[in-house]
Amino acid sequence: MPSVCFYFQVHQPLRLRHYTVFDQNDTYFDDYKNASICRKVANKCYLPANRLILDLIHRFDGRFKVAYSITGVLLEQLLTFSPEVMSTFDALAETGCVEFLAETYYHSLSFLYSRNEFVEQVNKHTETINNYFGQKPRIFRNTELIYNNELATLIESTGNFDAIITEGADHILGYRSPNFVYKPKDCNHLKLLLKNYALSDDIAFRFSNRDWTQWPLTADKFARWISDVNGNGNVVNLFLDYETFGEHQWKDTGIFDFMRHLPGTVLRHPDNNFKTPGEVVESYQPVGIVDVPHIISWADIERDLSAWVGNAMQSNAIHELYRLEKKIKQTANDKIISDWRKLQVSDHFYYMCTKYFSDGDVHKYFNPYNSPYDSYINFMNVLGHLRRRCSNTSEEQEEPLTQQHKATKRFLQAGSQINKTSDLQSISLGTPVNQD
Amino acid sequence: MRVFMLGWEFPPFISGGLGTACYGLTKAMDQLGQEVTFVLPKMVESTYSTHVKLLSPNSWTSSISFLFNEFKNVRFHAISSALQPYSTPDSYRRQIEETLRQKQKTLDANFIGAGQITGGDDYSRDMYTEVHRYAALAVELAKNEHFDIVHAHDWMTYPAGIAVAAISEKPLIVHIHSTEFDRSGEHINQMIYDIERQGMERANKVIAVSHFTRSTVINRYGISGENVEVVYNGVERNDNWPLAETGIKNDEKIVLFLGRITMQKGPEYFLQAAKKVLELMDDVKFVMVGSGDMMHRSIEMAAELGIGHKVLFTGFLRGEDVQKIYQMADLYVMPSVSEPFGIAPLEALNHDVPVIISKQSGVSEVLTHALKVDFWDINEIANKVIAVLKYPPLQETLANHGNFEVRKLRWKDAALKCIKIYQETLVAV
């Protein structure tokens, strides 16, 4: 009786604008590009896919279920650029058939470089999800499914989570199957869900590949493969990028039709069902312990970190970034801290990847830069400016402000608030107005 | 199959990429067993060292035949002519006048003849006549040779190529290393353009050194695309440098410009970018290697920009000096306005020097591990220069990957492609 467990990763990076060493302002991100890509992906993927999932949940009367992990940086972009997507996610949350997972708010690699920062970002994400969707995530997935024993121990120690999700990489499982619930090494109650990468990639990567012997992939065929797990597995974990629908696999490949027919064909077999990760964890006991002393991820053939920190530039950029942590946090300046955190988005480092020769195609497709070198130069220029801002702020704070200065500052802040929020009324009410 | 190749003298006797390309291609053909009769223009004043073996002076065409020890399948014929690659009509005239003055001096001083081959006085005073004189001499030479196809490199040899092909009734291949639009921008010399176009129109096949050049050939010369093939240049791999330590240990970074200092190579963009770099960095020197008609203008410009003390002009360097300068350099910049190919960046990468190249170049089609800029974007050039000098990981990654990448650009592949084009052309005829 395999349960099908769908989890969709929903994320868009924050692209930097072209920033030279001569630039001297704190506008680092390309709002125009980010907005237009966000709207494009919303129209091609998020909106139609959300509608489809909502429809399927209604049609199968709650027997079809899915989970989402939406990054904080995407939520911020959706709120600004495509608020209608937010309302469809909200509608999905209302059904009770959708679970939201926790991850690092900034889709960062912080676990590898700063445990404090990592925990702060996970907490920030959990709170944000709770705010928007009224759910406190119980399942954790780390950026790019990066995982090792230490991560499991750390996540268990927070006491907030029941399970953790990672890649069902061959070299950690050996002869074992990803279709069971496992327990991380050195953990007491935390469980481990492993991605069935073969079946997941059939949809995510191979779906439209005409050279693939199984092309075309129909819902019937795929449901048969799932039913084949009967008797030798409890759960089939299908973890995909949500952008698979309509963006990586275009609409005319039939990906939406495939998804529309899949629940019906899976449920035709009476032993099959759909479960969210949370339900899977409740239903099944771990069958064994998985030991992952070395870091794994879901990327490329290597399933390692080489896509983000595989060359000298990547390693240099990321170390320089995290070296600033103390200085950044000392400024206590929200804008500076937020800019620093937005530079942690893993995609910035992915763009610097020089692995052109083996699986470079994927890397190239998602890359807004012409070359990894351009992306490194741009990133380092921005980082250089951010570093100077830290030093400037600390000098500023030492400067004693005169009363007049403070008043002007307060006035300017109020003014900028008026511009920012649409809440004009409350502010004008709060300001004493001489009516005589 | 034997090729009658109208080429140019090999380095280190000559400046620029044309001689280098002729050498690389011919040597690779030689190693592939392709028989070549290589004809080149040569001033009689030059002397040969021991690595060549003189065969026979031919007084009628004032040509000499010789063999290079390192070539097994190539016969060389040098025709006495004052033609040099990259000459302009003006520079040609100045050069001839200088030659005649020198000769006069020698005669006055010694009262003896000018050597076994006379002919210096036969050189035409203007370049167009000289190009046609060369063609006539090449035809005379070709009459005693057996070959199947004619292959001519750049416009000065096209009239010779056309004539030899016509007399011998063999197919003609013209090889475009540069066009008049690359050298002169929009102010083209109509006579040169006409010669180029005639060569391309008459040719059975046109070989362009890049897609960049191929599109110039199609758009500016009206040649049908199916007649234009792209054959990229290669680079000579030289792994062991028998160099003594230069002993130069300098705290200053060195940014290198290496090429002819002419409008085509964009020296003014190099200097303007240098000025911008120096606004933010101090410990940098900009070295300009090469000579050309914009050299004096460039020296003045460096002074006008107030960076004269940071820019060094070395003049034209050859051989070991070039290797030394590469070893000292931290970065090579090629801001060419219009560069059909550009072999020098490959040589820089061969010496582990990272490169910034203009997008308006053929070489940017074959290099991925290079920084690419628009030649006019001095801000971006400066931005990238600073990044390379400031961030060692960038310099390292560029140099390592780039060095690996140029290993794949071999003259052997260029030669194989040319031979394939010969065979296809011969079948079609």
Q: For A289-342, what is each residue's pLDDT tens digit?
A: 999 999 999 888 888 898 899 899 999 999 999 999 999 999 999 999 999 999
**Residue B386 touches partner A, C-beta closer than 8 Å:** yes
Residue finishing a domain among A232, A266, A290: A290
Residue B394: closest CA among chain A residues belongs to which residue?
Answer: A313
pLDDT of residue A400: 44
pTM: 0.86
Q: Report if residue A301 sits inside a domain.
A: no
In degrees rounded to 5, what are phi and psi of residue A248?
A: -75, -40
A25 and A81 part of one domain: yes
Distance CA B118, CA B140 (A): 18
Handedness of CA A345, A351, A352, A356 (dihedral sign): positive
Q: For B381-410, what is each residue's pLDDT tens digit?
A: 999 999 999 999 999 999 999 999 999 899
B401 vs A354, A376, A377: nearest CB: A354
- Measured at the CA of B66, the angle between CA B62 and CA B68, to 5 degrees, comes to 145
pLDDT of residue A134: 95
Q: For A133-145, what is each residue's pLDDT tens digit?
A: 999 999 999 999 9
Q: Report if residue A35 sits inside a domain.
A: yes
Q: Report if residue A219 sits inside a domain.
A: yes
pLDDT of residue B249: 53
Q: Which residues of chain B have pLDDT under 50?
A: 46-50, 112-120, 240, 247
For chain B, domain boundaries: 2-234+411-428, 253-406
* CATH topology classification for B253-406: Rossmann fold (3.40.50)
Kindly provide the residue ranges of all beta strands, DSSP E only, lying in B166-222, ordered along the sequence: 172-176, 205-208
A178 and A271 part of one domain: yes
Residue pair B177/B153 in contact by the 8 Å Cβ criterion: yes
Residues 6+ apart with CB under 8 A from B63: B57, B77, B78, B79, B80, B137, B141
**Lowest-pLDDT range of A186-190, A211-215, B78-82:** B78-82
Q: Report if residue A82 sits inside a domain.
A: yes
Distance CA A294, CA A149 (A): 8
pLDDT of residue A436: 39
pLDDT of residue A354: 85
A280 and A343 part of one domain: no
pLDDT of residue A403: 47
Q: Report if residue A418 sits inside a domain.
A: no
pLDDT of residue B88: 82
Q: What is the mean pLDDT of residues A100-118?
A: 97
According to DSSP, the β-strands at B63-68 and B74-80 are antiparallel
pLDDT of residue B60: 55
Residue finishing a domain among A290, A314, A345: A290
pLDDT of residue A417: 43
A198 and A330 part of one domain: no
Residue pair A248/A366 in contact by the 8 Å Cβ criterion: no
Chain A 293-322, residues with CB within 8 Å of chain B CB atoms: 311-313, 315-316
Distance CA B215, CA B208 (A): 9
Q: Comparing B2-234+411-428 with B253-406, is the CATH topology the same?
A: yes
The helix or strand, by DSSP H or E, that contains position A68, with its residue range, turns out to be strand A66-70
A62 and A91 part of one domain: yes
Record: contact B280-A22, CB cut-off 8 A: yes
pLDDT of residue A331: 95
Q: Based on the structure, what is the number of domains in chain A?
A: 2
Q: Which domain CATH number covers A211?
A: 3.20.110.20
Q: Report if residue A328 sits inside a domain.
A: yes
Distance CA B340, CA B193 (A): 16
pLDDT of residue A430: 36
B368 vs A312, A316, A356: nearest CB: A356
**Lowest-pLDDT range of A27-31, A89-93, A156-160, A308-312:** A308-312
Chain B environment of A311 (Cβ under 8 Å):
393, 397
Q: For A147-183, what is each residue's pLDDT tens digit?
A: 999 999 999 999 999 999 999 999 999 999 999 999 9
Chain B environment of A313 (Cβ under 8 Å):
391, 393-394, 397
A286 and A148 part of one domain: yes
Q: Report if residue A154 sits inside a domain.
A: yes
How large is the ipTM? Answer: 0.83
What is the average pLDDT score of chain A?
A: 89
Record: contact B380-A316, CB cut-off 8 A: no
Which of A290-320 are b and which e, b meaning 16 or more Cβ less than 10 Å from the residue's Cβ?
A: bebeebbbbbbebbbbbbbbbbbbbbbbbeb
Say whether pLDDT at A269 is over 70.
yes
Q: Report if residue A177 sits inside a domain.
A: yes
CATH 3.40.50.1370 fits B2-234+411-428, yes or no: no
A173 and A66 part of one domain: yes
Record: contact A316-B398, CB cut-off 8 A: no
The helix or strand, by DSSP H or E, that contains position B315, with its residue range, turns out to be strand B311-315
Chain B environment of A387 (Cβ under 8 Å):
none
A183 and A76 part of one domain: yes
pLDDT of residue A191: 97
Q: Which domain holds residue A388?
A: 306-412
